[in-house]
Structure 1
Amino acid sequence: MPDMTPAPRRRPLWRLFIMPALLLVAAAAWSAFWFYAASEVGVRADAWAAREAKSGRVYECGKRSVAGYPFRLEVRCDDARVSLISQTAGAQAPFTARLGEIMVIAQIYQPKLLIAEFKAPATLADRGQPPSMKVNWTLGRSSVIGLPNDLQRASIVFDNPSIDRINGPVETPLARASHVELHGRLAEGSAKDHPVIEAVLQISGGNIQEVHPVLAQPFDADIQTRLTGLKDLAPKPWPERFRELQAAGGHVEIVRSRIQQGDLISVAAGTLSLNAQGRIDGELQMTVAGIEKVIPLLGIEKILEEGVPQATLDRVAPGVKSQDLNNLFGALDRAVPGLGKVVKQNANAGVTAGINALGKAAELEGKKARAFPLRFVDGTVFFGPLKVGQVPPLF
């Protein structure tokens, strides 16, 4: 009997090319999308820079490039410059910061998360003048979620930051730290038209020169704050924003502040606000362990040894006349030689006793401590009964 089995049907060859063709089309579409997104980076960046410029913050980029194909966008800005105009009370002249490179990274599938890296060093200068300050770090990075229309969270981190004053070839240290972090976010349930900002500042191994002897010694800080009174997050000059805060009755709540400097530990909480003159008013309730470590740094003994100039004395004991003190010390020395010097040398102990008398006994982290207020009155800072600083107006 002849073989009647039918010959196998041949499948069309074009079916073999369906998947490769689809992959090719998808790759082409993805590439078109990536290059479109890359072209939009410049448009969006220019629009953002234009909005910021209206608020007195001018951002410039010597050379801008986009890379990262196929799954992310890497925007690199070489020779970056930021000019700040009218960002502080009474300052109209531009102040320019300049650094070598900023790189911003965004994943295509997560466009609302931006990560930026900063290349050190940066220089700060007045317009038309050589750099007056130099800022350095080993790692500088920031992240933002929700930019630009729905800001939710932002962070910036620096490892080993330093600030030096530049005077020709001489660089003088102004500030140092081993690590600094600043985190901010919209408070849960906060309305967009009246946002409430929660922020945390952490400093490890920090010191600041030329401000106050207390800050010149290494310290660690962990400060949590809550800011109310904002109308929006639109770009605007800082003095204008501070006026807006003051008019709305806004304030900064120091939820918790902990500062440690050797054996000294200080915690504080309270509220600060701005008065109509742009100066800080408010009060923080402080608890300090090791307060005797701070008193010598206030310089009471040195002030007395130098003859107590009235301007200097006003900083630490307003209302006391220097001539009265000088006459008193002179009379003591005439009555009993050397007695005036002894009184001067024991001035810090007297101030410590005075603060202890005003404060209350407390315990902090298992150590004996004193509790008392740190007051801000029209920008003047009072540590117990002592005037220890002056904060300039913010608008």
Structure 2
Amino acid sequence: MRILLTLIVIAAAAWSGYWYIGKTGVSEGFSTWLEARRAEGWAAETGTLETVGYPNRFDTTFTDITLADPDTGLAWEAPFFQILALSYKPNHVIAVWPDEQLVATPREKYQVTSSDMRASVVVGADLDLPLERTTLTAEELAVTPVSEDQTTRAEALRLAAERLPAHPATYRLGLAADGLSPALEWRVRLDPAGKLPERFDAFEADVTVEFDKPWDRSAIEEARPQPRRIELRLAQARWGELELQAAGEVTVDAQGYPEGEVTVKARNWRDILRMAVASGTLPDAFAGTLEDGLGLISQMSGNPKTLDIPLNFRNGKVRLGPVPLGDAPVLRLR
């Protein structure tokens, strides 16, 4: 019994020492990271930084945290932020966001509220912390621009990413937004007659993206990885009687211009076209020509209400079937 008791005491003391060393390393690691960002010109401040959870956890809480990258114009503020991990499995963490936070871009600031936003993140056993997989969920999500009282809401949001084992910089991404409700002003502009429901019936995407480098700590400290190939397995949105689906594959050059083809299927496409004009996405002067051309194509297919047509990206331009639409979007992450 004395030997057993002695072994138990030694094991407890060893584990306590491991936990204390680990806890100190975690806290100092975060503090060092914040100091390094400040040295690079970031705003990187936190009120307090504390790690607790003895004996089996390393739970770190930041209060009054602010991060702002002057090179991209992106910023984030929150009253607290938590990173939770098991002490014997530190490469798998749970991140917890507060119910209210502020996200700023070069164009607008957004107030983000939710009832439960958290993410499960698994990184590789490497100092660069390469992302292996992550799942983010949020309940009762609401995003409101600070400059105007127009809120976009979702009953639930799910975003998942997983690195493909054979391709270190390729990830499969999934997105689903349940009960997505666009801002009232936007809905009124798109649907002045009020024929469409308040919420989308479906809004989801399944896509595989190859980047120019893996997502790891350098994605925050240095520069975001940029897409080089995008395989859109399926993206779809259903809103009342309107339905839009897309699938295809494009490559992306160093300037961010896509090259390739995406097949678009639209049900009640004339109404979708009018909504694009109402939102300012499509110039009114061009809408009539486009509608005539697409109308001819849909009649040839046998169903005048449904379009099934390729969207072509070439030389920095985009065409819908034979109809030129204008400049292609630039696919670059700030």
Q: Which runs of 5+ in 1 are unaligned?
A: 1-15, 88-93, 304-310, 318-346
Q: Aligned residues: percent identity? A: 19
Q: How does 1:104-115 map to 2 (within 5 A)?
A: 104-115=83-94
Q: Against the structure 1 CA distance between its residues 132 and 289, is the aligned structure 2 distance closer, same or farther, given a 3 Å change threshold? A: closer
Structure 1 match to 2:175: 201
Offset at residue 55 of structure 1 (A): 8.2
Residue 386 (structure 1) shift:
7.4
Q: Deviations over 1:123-164 (max 9, x none)?
A: 24589xxx9431111110011112553431122211121111
1:268 corresponds to 2:246: yes
CA distance in 1, matches of 2:229, 2:316: 15
Which of 298, 305, 308 in structure 1 is aligned with 2:276?
298
* Rg larger for: 1
Alignment of 1:82 onto 2:21: no
Q: Which digits, 9 at most, give the CA deviation of each residue in 1:96-115, with x for residues without a partner? A: 32111111110122221100
Gapped regions of structure 2 (runs ≥ 5): none
Match of 1:324 in 2: none
* CA–CA separation in structure 1 for the residues paired with 2:295 and 2:68: 48
Tell me the TM-score normalized by structure 1.
0.67
Aligned residue for 1:172, secondary structure, equals coil
Tell me, in whole angstroms, the C-alpha distance in 2 between the residues paired with 1:32 and 1:81: 32
Q: List per-residue Cα deviations over 1:29-72 (Å, max 9, x = no partner).
A: 21111111110002222444466678887543221111111111
Give the alignment of 1:152-301 within 5 angstroms.
152-167=132-147, 171-191=148-168, 195-209=169-183, 218-219=199-200, 220-234=202-216, 235-236=218-219, 241=224, 250-275=228-253, 277-299=255-277
Greater per-residue helix proportion? 1
AA paired with 1:204? Answer: D
Equivalent residue for 1:123, pick from 66, 88, 102: 102
Q: Equivalent residue for 1:28? A: 13
Query: SS of the counterpart of 1:18?
Result: helix
1:371 aligns with 308
| 1:277 CA drift (Å) | 4.1
- Shift >6 Å, 4+ stretches: 51-57
CA distance, structure 2, for counterparts of residue 187 and residue 152 of structure 1:
8
Q: Which amino acid aligns with 1:180?
A: L
Shift in Å at residue 85 of structure 1? 2.4
Structure 1, residues 230-279: CA drift from partner, whole Å, max 9, x if none?
2343514799556x65xxxx221112212211222322111234345434
1:134 aligns to 2:111 (yes or no): yes
Q: Secondary structure at the match of 2:30?
A: helix
What amino acid maps onto 2:159 in structure 1?
L
> Does the 8 Å contact 1:286/1:374 carry over to 2?
yes
Aligned mates of 2:40, 2:229 — CA distance in 1: 22
